[in-house]
Amino acid sequence: MHSSTLRTAPVHLTRALQHPSFTTAHSLRPCVVAKWLQSRRLTTASPRTQEVIPLRKHLKDEAKRKKAEVKRDGDVTSKKQTLDPRLDKWELTVGIEIHAELNTACKLFSSAPAEVSVGDDGGSANSRVADFDAALPGTQPQFQIATLLPALRAAIALECEVQRKSGWDRKHYFHWDQPNGYQITQYYQPFAKDGSLTLGAFDGVPAEDLNGAESITIGIKQIQMEQDTAKTMNVGSSTYHVDLNRAGMPLIEVITLPHIHSPQTAAAVVRKIQAVLKGVDACVTGMELGGLRADVNVSVRQRGTSGIGSSYSGVGGLGQRTEIKNLSSFKAVEDAIVAERDRQITVLEAGGVIEGETRGWTLGATETTRLRGKEGEVDYRYMPDADLPPLVIGSDLVQHLKTTMPMLPDAVERDLEEWHGLSRKDAKTLNEQDNGDRVEFFERTASFLLAEVGTFKSEVATTKERRKTGKLVGNWVLHELGGLLATHQRSWDDVRVTADELKDVLVCLHKNEITARAAKQILAELFQRQPAPDGPYWPSMDTRPSVEQLVDAGNLRLRPLSEDEYEKLAMQIMDANPDMVKAVREKGQKGKVMWFVGQMVRQGEEGTVEPEKAKVVIERLMGG
């Protein structure tokens, strides 16, 4: 039950800094913090499995979309716009509401666990439910102070103004997923307001939205804390099962201003907010695992007009909006907006009127579907929650969190670019995979490798070496290890190669002791072996051979050919492939030189042919 003290007095969060749940020790990588806290039983969340964000697929999709762009009247316009001239007449406006599950150990108003823990019953239905979650008579909410920490980190990361005092409201509606008959939220007095989010081309914002600028800024109206609902499962044609495990889970709702004017930018906003929330450990699961959902508000108006004159939070001249609920992927966000935009334009051009309503979306559909009329404040009968005192947040707590925040995703990517020499694309890919674990692995490997092969003769030389080393390590972490993970369908948690082992492979490669082909072979061998056992000691050589042992056991150490031997091997391959020689010499197809290099590497004895030298020999013999 709720104590009388909590019912009659505000919650002064500055006192809670001494509470074990508030123990924090942030470094630049939130994943390190989580592991450190978990090892000392000070974490505010249980470990969760996270799938790799398919960022490379997103980048490929973006590249395909850009290739589909065509020029018209000297301007770059999308193929869709060329085929549908209506988009020159009508302007789209979108606002987004993002519901994100907070990274906490307990629910918002009860001590029931938020996640399955070791020794639990496997997460069966209704196994993590407190009396209040089930709305048993006489029970009252008890705000769990530790749930505020990840919410505050989210607000600070999104540049919001944290409010000294906020309150709780009841949002009434009757459905079996809401046992109390109302949801506790912060509709009138949210704990954070007036934030912003900056995005650029590499976030997926199309050129027409950037309009020549490097970035755009999307306003954030407010962030509020609220309860999640129960989970409903349909069994048969008319039977529903309700699982209360999710009821009362702590959420934040991030509400953007209607500053978005394209489906691609809308998807980019959701993607960027997810990355920010995960980057500061505010939430640890994204759309792929159901930890984040988006509702989009869509309206259209004729360009140069004020629509129906509607306004929202200071943004005026809008059309009638409709809301599409519970979108669970970035693609769903983009596709649902396209479908609803086109539907609204068709209705308006036929002389119809857009109704304010809530609509649904199914993947693969071509049009949104009506669910119900749009509810407003009157329908929900908002009222202050009489069982909860105001939430009072001390400025010293906010300042403490600001000074101990992890680096935000943009800052991490800039560091990877400027310090380690990675391309923007590789920096973004590396940063958004595996909750930061792969970045940590990359930095350790790069540091180990530079310490062993760097010369540090001058500051200029150090910078050059650092970036050269960073590019080398980045290529192997992203592409070679990433390829092995994809081939064997493993997650990063099962990578089975240590940073020190990858460093040893790259040291041998850097010193020309092995070829790149041999290095990949060694990496694959380590990847397939069982990981080192836990403990302070390195495993015995019988269970985990060193890189040097694998080099010697496989007879992989480089034994360079002489110049005459290189030429003899090259001439044999050229004599056997006269058409390929003709293509290079007479047709100028210089790219086929690398085909000859590949043949020399394959036909030469293992550990004898260096591709760089083979290329020089082939080009000389070809007369290039």
82: confidence class by pLDDT, cuts 50, 70, 90: very low
pLDDT for the residue numbered 117 = 53
pLDDT value at 486 more than 70: yes
pLDDT for the residue numbered 284 = 77
Mean pLDDT of 354-359: 93
Phi then psi for residue 95, to 5 deg, are -120, 150
Mean pLDDT of 425-436: 86
The one-letter code for the residue type at 381 is: R
Q: Is 369 strand, coil or helix?
A: strand
pLDDT value at 66 more than 80: no
Mean pLDDT of 490-508: 92
Mean pLDDT of 413-439: 89
Instruction: Please report the beta strands in 543-603, taking only residues with DSSP state E, as ranges in sequence order.
Output: none
5: confidence class by pLDDT, cuts 50, 70, 90: very low
The pair of structure tokens assigned to 471 is 């590019």
| Stretch (H or E) spanning 99 | strand 90-101
Give the C-alpha separation, 335 to 53, whole Å: 19
pLDDT value at 75 more than 50: no
pLDDT for the residue numbered 32 = 40
Q: pLDDT tens digits, residue range 303-350?
A: 999 999 999 999 999 999 999 998 999 999 999 999 999 999 999 999
- Spell out the alpha helix ranges (H) of 515-562: 516-528, 547-553
Mean pLDDT of 421-438: 88
pLDDT for the residue numbered 11 = 39
Mean pLDDT of 255-279: 95
The burial of 80, by beta-carbon neighbours within 10 Å (0-12 exposed, 13-18 middle, 19 or more buried), is given as middle
Contacts of 542 by beta carbon, 8 Å cutoff, 6+ apart: none
Q: Which of 40-54, 103-117, 198-212 tops mean pLDDT?
A: 198-212
Q: Which residues pair with 232 in a beta bridge?
A: 242
Residues, the chain:
624
pLDDT for the residue numbered 68 = 54
CA end-to-end distance (rounded Å), the chain: 85
Q: Which residue has the higher pLDDT, 4 or 338?
A: 338
pLDDT for the residue numbered 65 = 53
Give the C-alpha separation, 394 to 459, whole Å: 44
pLDDT for the residue numbered 52 = 39
139: confidence class by pLDDT, cuts 50, 70, 90: very high
Mean pLDDT of 559-566: 84
Contacts of 555 by beta carbon, 8 Å cutoff, 6+ apart: 606, 607
Q: Roughly what angle, to the nearest 10 degrees, separates helices 459-475 and 499-510?
A: 110
The pair of structure tokens assigned to 402 is 């600001």
pLDDT for the residue numbered 218 = 97
The residue whose two tokens read 């989210």 is: 154
The residue whose two tokens read 């500061």 is: 280
pLDDT for the residue numbered 123 = 67
Mean pLDDT of 438-449: 93
What does the radius of gyration of the chain's CA atoms come to, in whole angstroms?
29
CB 24 within 8 A of CB 402: no
Provide the percentage of residues in the chain whose pLDDT is more than 90: 53
pLDDT value at 21 more than 50: no
64: confidence class by pLDDT, cuts 50, 70, 90: low
73: confidence class by pLDDT, cuts 50, 70, 90: very low
* 260 half-sphere exposure, CB direction, 13 A CA radius: 33
Provide the percentage of residues in the chain whose pLDDT is more than 70: 82
Give the C-alpha separation, 316 to 309, whole Å: 7
Instruction: Please report the beta strands in 319-399, taking only residues with DSSP state E, as ranges in sequence order.
Output: 322-327, 357-360, 369-373, 383-384, 391-392
Mean pLDDT of 97-104: 95
pLDDT for the residue numbered 223 = 98
Give the C-alpha separation, 216 to 212, whole Å: 10
Give the C-alpha separation, 390 to 299, whole Å: 36
25: confidence class by pLDDT, cuts 50, 70, 90: very low
Q: Which residue has the higher pLDDT, 592 or 79?
A: 592
pLDDT for the residue numbered 459 = 59
pLDDT for the residue numbered 233 = 86
The residue whose two tokens read 């792969």 is: 438
pLDDT for the residue numbered 343 = 96
CB 154 within 8 A of CB 280: yes
Q: In sequence order, what DSSP letters do the residues of 199-248 get, joined into one string? A: EEGGGT--HHHHTT-SEEEEEEEEEEEEEPPPEEEEETTTEEEEETTSTT
pLDDT for the residue numbered 152 = 97
Q: How far is CA 247 from the centre of its chain?
A: 25
Q: pLDDT tens digits, residue range 525-548?
A: 999 887 655 544 444 444 788 999
Q: What is the mean pLDDT of the chain?
A: 83
Q: Which of 49-53, 150-154, 248-252, 256-260 has the lowest mean pLDDT?
A: 49-53
pLDDT for the residue numbered 145 = 94
Nearest to 550, CA basis, from 510, 511, 502: 502
pLDDT for the residue numbered 83 = 57
Q: How far is CA 64 from the centre of its chain?
A: 21
